Amino acid sequence: MLDKVYEPQNHRMHRAGHNFLLRFRTVLPPPAGDAGVRQQKAQMSQIEYRPATSEDLGELIELWWLMQSSHDAYCPMFYKNVGAEESKTFCHRYFTDLLTQETCMIHVATSSGTAVGMIVAHFRTRPPVYEVRQQVEVEIAIVLPTHRRRGIFRNLFALVEERAKLAGVGMIEITVDHDNPAKLAYQETGFCLRQDKMVKWI
């Protein structure tokens, strides 16, 4: 419970190196024939990685809703939402606020100018009873189904991890449902299971 008492401190120094752009080309082995050649060309389309801005707000909301609405498959009772319209209205306010916060990182992956993935992470300060006081928490990670298995999450996470290291933070945390196939991608980037979250319906 103590974790909820402590609010993040001012981390202006984490803004250093914030404005940069990375470009990656991801190529998967194509099937044989002309169809394979066309597929390979499509997969070589440039993916750009950059900090999100207020101009991305609409796409951030749509990516978030894709993630949020798909969670019903893991636990319908826990993830039951109030509907798309009301949820997106809340999300608009939420992301508008996040984009102004010094302790929040939002990065997007774009293809031909369209957002195909994003990651949202926060610098957190833990209670003074812990030796490790600073951590980064990944709140949101989503890649469009059409662009998965191309290393996009790995590259987005690399941006978060690099800023955490520059800030002297030694721990990154993420929460994932047991049945979420994305768990494999997290494990491949070095995450390991630390605890189980339990729920009792009453």
pLDDT digits (tens, 9 = 90+) for 36-74: 545 545 554 699 999 999 999 999 999 999 999 999 888
Percent of the chain residues topping a pLDDT of 90: 71
Mean pLDDT along residues 104-114: 97
Is residue 9 predicted with pLDDT exceeding 50? Answer: no
pTM score of the predicted model: 0.78
Q: What is the pLDDT of residue 72?
A: 87
CA 198 to chain centre: 23
Those residues with Cβ within 8 angstroms of residue 114's Cβ, 6 or more apart along the chain or in another chain: 59
User: What distance in Å separates the CA atoms of residue 18 and residue 172, rounded to the nearest whole number?
Assistant: 18
Domains and CATH numbers, the chain: 2-188 (3.40.630.30)
Number of other CB atoms surrounding residue 135 within 10 Å: 18
DSSP SS3 for 13: helix
Strand ranges across the sheet with 22-24: 22-24, 47-51, 104-111, 114-125, 134-143, 172-174
